[in-house]
Every structure is written in structure tokens, then in C-alpha cells.
Amino acid sequence: MKNKILPFLVIVIFGIIFFIFYKGLEDSKIYTPDVNTKKEIPVFNAKEFFSGENVKSPSIFDPDKVYLLNIWSSWCVPCRQEHPILMNLNLDDKLDIIGMNYKDNLKNAENFLKELGNPYKEIFIDLDGTIAIEWGAYGVPESFLIYNNEIIKKYIGPLNQQSTDEIFLLIK
């Protein structure tokens, strides 16, 4: 009897370990951010892009309006692709687009806007990337849909037609 329990136990334990490791293989090892949970927007101080004046975040975001915060940079190639979509989104009166210029050279950023147009109602500067971390972002481009001082939805990577449709739907 004793001799039978031992192999059985060994098989069961190996089975459990195999199952756990097998499960572990299936899981993605790449960070997948939570894009749907609502979070309060962070409070921060930053410099305004054109004037260089200090701005505080509560003065940028009005609780009654819908905002799209877009993190962009002139050196980021996907931002260039995304730009026409932002210009298109800007046509909607219900939505204000706020820009966060991420780790950029100001001259290059200005040229970028001159070349492709400026969809932003207001732009502030994040020179060392710390404000982006306050927002829980980890790269460019990234966009946050904001209403009532809450992040409703997060878009990682460049916006596309599908996300534009979704934004229009959410605004209504």
C-alpha cells in the first residue's frame, strides 16, 4: 500500500507543476496596461509650450468638457502618422485636444506643428518624462480620453480609424 502512494504522489505533484508552468507559458510577458478602468487625472505643474509660463493642471481641465490628452513628440514617427487623425478629431466642437510634448527639442516641435498643423488647444511641456509617468504612460504616442477629471479610456500607440470612431461614439 505504502509503495503505491509514493509514485502516485510524485505523479500528482509533477502534474501540478507541469500545469502551472504550462499556464505560465501562455501568459503574455509583455506589459499590457489596463485601458478601461477609470482613474482620476493626476495633479501636476508644467510649462506652457508657446509662452513658457507655468501652468497648473486644474486650470487646464474643465470638469464639464471632454478632453483628449495626446502625448507627442517631433522625433516620434508614429506621431507623424497620427497627426492627420488629431486634426480631424479637432473639427468636433465637443472635444478639446491637449498636447503633452514629450522629451522634445522645442524648435523641432514648433517646426513639426508648422508643417502638419496644430490640433491642440493647449500644449504643455514634459522635458524629462516625469509628468508622463504621473499619467501612467510609458511611451509616445499615447492618448487619454478625459471627462469630469477622470480618464475614461487610454489609447496606447497611434490613434487609428477605429479609435476615432470610438471616441466620436463616446463623446455623444
Partner 1 sequence: MKLFIFFLFFILFFPLSILNAQENDKRNEITKNLRCLICQGQSVYDSDSEFANSLKIVVDKKLEEGLSEDQIYEYFKTKYGEWILYDPGLNKNTYILWLLPILIFLIGGAIIYKSFIVKK
For the CA atoms of 110, 111, 116, 120, the dihedral, rounded to the nearest 10 degrees, stands at: 0
- What span, in angstroms and rounded, lies between the C-alpha atoms of 4 and 81? 66
Q: Is 128 in the site for partner 1 (CB under 8 A)?
A: yes
Among 139, 147, 148, 152, binds partner 1 (CB under 8 A): 139
Q: Distance between CA 122 and CA 68 in Å, rounded?
A: 11
Which of residues 14 and 50 has its CB atom nearest to partner 1 in the complex? 14
Select from 47-55, 60-68, 105-113, 127-135 the region that touches partner 1 (CB under 8 A). 127-135
- Compute the least distance from the CB of residue 87 to partner 1, in Å: 26
78 binds partner 1 (CB under 8 A): no
- Would you give the DSSP letter of residue 105? -
User: Which 90-109 positions form the footprint of partner 1 (CB under 8 A)?
Assistant: 103
Query: Residue type at 97?
Result: I
